[in-house]
Amino acid sequence: MKIEDQLKTNNLPPARKLSLSILVTANLIDENVAAALKPFDISIQQFNVLRILRGQKGKPANLSTIQERMVSKMSNTTRLVDKLIAKELTERIVCEANRRKVEISITEKGLELLKEIDPKVDAVEKELIQDITEEEIEIVTNCLNKIRK
């Protein structure tokens, strides 16, 4: 659907058209992913932290590493991790080498939860982009790369 029709507006300058398209589409993706995660009682942010930790392949990550890799850089990653610890999906230990740091890792329970969730999120993403060809994906991601510098 054209962004102008969706937002009932017209004559958007190109820069605004593109930025609104990206924002509205991102919102749609968020809504759909959040809905898929809901049965598992986990938020998108929490899900992302779990995926980051899994990507560490056993190595624990400290808070600033997680924060760097998060889609949305919110300031209180501490409390986000607190939630995951309360659910026993992650663990936190104080780093021995540098006692300012903490080392956070995903638990077995966390890995199992991800294994359950992954196919659902994959399905949502595939469903959303079903009309986009692989070639188009390349073009679009390249353009978006340029926006993110």
What gap in Å lies between CA 93 and CA 116, rounded to an integer? 26
Tell whether residue 69 is a contact of DNA (CB under 7 A). no
Q: How far is the CB of 114 from DNA (least distance, A)?
A: 18
Tell whether residue 24 is a contact of a copy of itself (CB under 8 A). yes
Tell whether residue 35 is a contact of a copy of itself (CB under 8 A). no
- If the CB atoms of residues 71 and 93 are measured against a copy of itself, the closer one turns out to be 71
Tell whether residue 79 is a contact of DNA (CB under 7 A). yes
CA triple 135-139-143, angle to 5 deg: 165
**Residue ranges binding DNA (CB under 7 A):** 34, 38, 43, 45, 62-64, 72, 74-81, 83, 92, 95, 98-102
